[in-house]
C-alpha cells in the first residue's frame, strides 16, 4: 500500500511542472540568527557577495543605528559571523556595496548611512579596511542617503559611483562621482545633469538600455513620482529621458530589479510598489524605450512590495522572479511571491514552493549560491524583530548550470557593465553585470546560467564594457569559469573559431600575429599598455 | 592558420601589453609582453 501511494505521489510530483521548484528557510541552521534592529524608512540592505574571493558567496547585512554591520564568511556552505565586524560602523546603514574601485584586485566597501553619512573603506588586501571617505572626496554629510551603485560611466576602466537620497518628504540632490583613478573622486552631479533633486529615489541600476556601449541609469522612485531614466551621452553628461522613454512609471517604487526575462537580449526591469496598485515590469527594447508588461506577463504583484530579484531557480534557461514586502497577510496580501517563468514571457505564481508559510515582513533581497550546487539561493533582510531569512534552493531536477566570473584588465577589474552571453542549441541567454541590483541589494559576482538538459554550452561570450570580446567554445556545464579580459576563460580548452596567436612572446623587435583560417576581416589593430593607454594603432 | 602579419615593437618599452584586433564581428584580444 505504501509503495502504491509512493508511486502515485511521484507520478503527481513529476506530472506537475511546477513541483521542481522548492525553497526552505534555513537561516538558523546555516549559522545566522541576527535580525535588523529598529528600522527607519525601509529597513536595510543585504549583499550576497564573495568578498574574500574564495569562491563561496558570503553575506553582508545592514543593521540599524547602534549595531555593527554584520559580515558572514561562507565556509563551504555554512556561515560564520566575523567578530568584531570588518569595519567600525554603527550607523543606520542602508546600502552595502562591494567593488574594486582602485583596481588593485580586492573588494573595497562602500556603505550609505541614513542621516549619518557615507563611508568608503579601502581593502588593504587582507580584509582590513581604512576609511578613505574624506580623502577620496565622497560626501559624508548627514542626509537621507539610501541606495548606491558602482558603474563606469566614462569607460575609463575605473568604477564611478552614484548615491541616492530619500528623506521621505524632503527632496534632496543625489550624487554622481567619477573616479579619478588615483584614489580620489570628482562630484559631477550638476554638470552631468543627474541631480534628480525633486524626486525620492531608493535604488538604481547601471545598464546599457540603448545598446550603445556605455552605462545609462534607471532609478526606482518613491512618492508616486516617475521612475527616472538617464541616458548616457558619452561625454560625462546624461539626457533625462524619463518622460519620453515609456518607462517613467509614476508609482511608489521601492526597488528596481534588472534582468532579461524574455531572453530577447535586452535588459528588463521589475519595479516593486509600496501601494496596493501593484508592481510594474518595464520591457526594454534595446533602443532605450520600454513597454509596461506587468499584467501581460503575470507579475503584477499586489500589496506593499519592497525587495525583488531575478533568478533561474530551476536552471531551465529563463529567469524567474522572487518578490517580498511588508504585507500583513490579514489584509489579504501575500508576504512574498515566487513567479515561475513559463518560457513564453509569461509567469505563473507558484503557490507551493516554500514561501506559502512566509509571514515575515521583508525589505531587501540578494541572490547567491550557498553551497556551490549551481542552484541560486535567496537571502532576505527583514523588518525589525525578524531573523534574516535564507531561502535555500532545494529544487530537485536534472538541469545543469554554468557560473561565470569576470576579471577586467583595461576595464574595471570587476567587469561591471559587461554582457555575458551563453549559447545552447541556438538559444542565447544574456546577462548584464551589475554592482547594485534590487532594493539596497547586491547579488553574487558569479553570474549563474541555467542550461536545462544541456551538458555543455556551445559558446560563452563576454562583451566587456569597452567593446572587447572574449569567447570560449564547448564549455562543459556544472562548473564556474573565469574570463580574464583578453585571455579568454581560464581552465577551458578553447576550441576557438576566430583565434589568433602572438609570437615570439615576449617580443623583442617585432610581434607576429597569426590568424585562424576563419578569422573575419580586420579593420584595426590596437596595442594598449596594462594601464589602458593606447600605444599603437594600425589600420588594415 | 592562413594569414600572418608583423607589428614593429622596437619603439615599445618593456612591459605587459594588450593587443586588440577589431573586426566587424567584434574585438579579439590577447596579452603579450615586450622584453628588449
DSSP string, A343-368: SSS-EEE-SSSSGGG----EEEEEEE
Instruction: Give the pLDDT of residue B30.
Output: 82
Nearest to B6 among A463, A510, A530 (CB): A510
Cβ-Cβ contacts under 8 Å, A514 against chain B: 1, 3-4
Which residues in chain A come in under a pLDDT of 70? Answer: 1-19, 169, 491-498
Q: Return d(Cα A442, Cα A314) in angstroms, integer.
A: 21
The three-state secondary structure class of A7 is: helix
CB A496 within 8 A of CB A477: no
Instruction: Give the pLDDT of residue A528.
Output: 87
Q: Return d(Cα A204, Cα A299) in angstroms, integer.
A: 20
Q: A527 and chain B: CB distance < 8 Å anywhere?
A: yes
Partner-chain contact B1 A528, CB within 8 Å: no
Partner-chain contact A527 B18, CB within 8 Å: yes
Q: Return d(Cα B26, Cα B1) in angstroms, integer.
A: 19
Q: How confident is the model at residue B2 (pLDDT cuts 50, 70, 90)?
A: low
State the residue for C-alpha cell 580574464: A484
Cβ-Cβ contacts under 8 Å, A419 against chain B: none
Instruction: Give the pLDDT of residue A502.
Output: 87
pLDDT tens sequence across A234-245: 999 999 999 999
Burial classification of residue A19, based on how many CB atoms lie within 10 Å of its CB (0-12 exposed, 13-18 middle, 19 or more buried): middle
Residues 1 to 36 of B: which have CB under 8 A from any A CB? 1-10, 12, 15-36
Partner-chain contact B1 A487, CB within 8 Å: no
Q: What is the DSSP letter of A331?
A: G
Phi/psi at A75 (5° precision): -105, 80
Cβ-Cβ contacts under 8 Å, A501 against chain B: 1
CB A314 within 8 A of CB A21: yes
Q: A516 and chain B: CB distance < 8 Å anywhere?
A: yes
Amino acid at each position: 500500500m505504501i509503495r502504491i501511494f509512493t508511486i502515485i505521489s511521484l507520478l503527481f510530483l513529476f506530472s506537475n511542472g511546477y513541483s521542481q521548484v522548492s525553497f526552505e528557510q534555513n537561516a538558523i541552521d546555516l549559522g545566522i540568527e541576527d535580525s535588523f534592529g529598529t528600522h527607519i524608512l525601509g529597513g536595510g540592505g543585504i549583499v550576497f557577495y564573495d568578498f574574500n574571493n574564495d569562491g563561496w558567496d558570503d553575506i553582508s547585512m545592514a543593521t540599524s543605528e547602534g549595531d555593527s554591520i554584520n559580515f558572514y564568511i561562507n565556509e563551504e556552505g555554512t556561515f560564520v559571523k566575523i567578530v568584531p565586524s570588518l569595519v567600525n560602523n554603527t550607523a543606520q546603514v542602508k546600502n552595502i556595496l562591494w567593488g574594486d574601485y582602485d583596481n588593485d584586485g580586492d573588494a573595497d566597501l562602500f556603505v550609505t548611512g541614513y542621516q549619518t553619512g557615507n563611508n568608503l573603506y579601502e581593502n588593504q588586501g587582507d580584509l582590513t579596511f581604512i576609511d578613505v571617505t574624506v580623502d577620496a572626496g565622497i560626501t559624508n554629510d548627514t542626509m537621507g542617503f539610501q541606495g548606491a551603485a558602482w558603474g563606469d560611466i566614462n569607460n575609463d576602466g575605473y568604477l564611478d559611483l552614484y548615491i541616492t537620497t530619500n528623506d521621505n518628504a524632503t527632496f534632496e540632490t543625489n550624487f554622481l562621482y567619477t573616479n579619478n583613478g588615483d584614489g580620489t573622486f570628482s562630484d559631477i552631479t550638476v554638470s552631468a545633469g543627474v541631480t534628480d533633486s525633486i524626486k525620492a529615489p531608493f535604488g538604481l541600476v547601471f545598464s546599457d538600455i540603448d545598446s550603445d556601449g556605455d552605462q545609462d541609469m534607471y532609478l526606482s522612485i518613491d512618492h508616486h513620482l516617475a521612475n527616472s531614466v538617464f541616458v548616457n551621452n558619452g561625454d560625462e553628461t546624461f539626457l533625462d529621458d524619463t518622460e519620453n522613454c515609456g518607462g517613467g512609471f509614476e508609482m511608489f517604487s521601492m526597488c528596481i530589479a534588472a534582468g532579461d526575462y524574455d531572453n530577447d537580449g535586452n535588459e528588463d526591469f521589475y519595479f516593486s510598489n509600496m501601494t496596493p496598485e501593484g508592481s510594474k515590469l518595464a520591457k526594454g527594447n534595446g533602443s532605450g524605450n520600454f513597454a509596461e508588461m506587468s499584467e501581460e506577463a503575470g507579475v503584477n504583484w499586489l500589496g506593499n512590495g519592497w525587495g525583488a530579484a531575478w533568478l533561474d531557480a530551476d536552471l531551465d534557461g529563463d529567469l524567474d522572479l522572487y518578490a517580498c514586502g511588508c504585507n500583513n497577510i490579514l489584509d489579504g496580501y501575500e508576504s512574498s511571491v515566487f513567479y515561475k517563468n513559463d518560457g513564453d514571457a509569461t509567469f505563473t505564481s507558484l503557490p507551493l514552493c516554500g514561501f506559502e508559510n512566509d509571514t515575515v515582513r521583508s525589505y531587501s533581497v540578494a541572490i547567491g549560491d550557498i553551497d556551490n550546487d549551481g542552484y541560486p539561493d535567496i537571502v532576505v533582510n527583514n523588518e525589525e524583530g525578524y531573523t534574516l531569512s535564507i531561502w535555500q534552493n532545494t529544487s530537485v531536477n536534472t538541469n545543469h548550470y554554468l557560473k561565470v566570473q569576470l576579471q577586467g584588465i583595461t576595464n574595471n577589474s570587476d567587469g561591471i557593465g559587461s554582457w555575458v552571453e551563453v549559447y545552447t542549441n541556438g538559444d542565447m541567454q544574456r546577462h548584464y553585470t551589475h554592482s547594485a541590483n534590487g532594493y539596497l541589494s547586491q547579488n553574487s559576482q558569479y553570474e549563474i546560467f541555467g542550461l536545462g538538459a544541456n551538458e555543455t554550452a556551445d559558446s560563452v561570450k563576454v562583451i566587456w564594457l569597452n567593446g572587447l570580446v572574449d569567447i570560449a567554445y564547448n564549455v562543459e556545464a556544472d562548473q564556474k569559469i573565469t574570463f580574464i579580459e583578453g585571455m579568454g576563460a581560464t581552465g577551458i580548452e578553447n576550441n576557438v573559431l576566430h583565434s589568433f596567436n602572438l609570437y615570439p612572446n615576449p617580443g623583442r623587435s617585432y610581434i607576429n600575429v597569426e590568424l585562424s583560417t576563419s578569422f573575419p576581416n580586420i579593420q584595426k589593430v590596437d596595442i594598449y599598455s596594462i594601464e589602458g593607454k593606447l600605444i599603437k594603432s594600425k589600420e588594415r | 592558420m592562413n594569414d600572418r602579419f608583423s607589428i614593429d615593437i622596437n619603439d615599445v618599452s618593456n612591459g605587459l601589453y594588450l593587443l586588440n584586433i577589431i573586426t566587424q564581428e567584434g574585438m579579439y584580444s590577447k596579452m603579450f609582453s615586450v622584453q628588449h
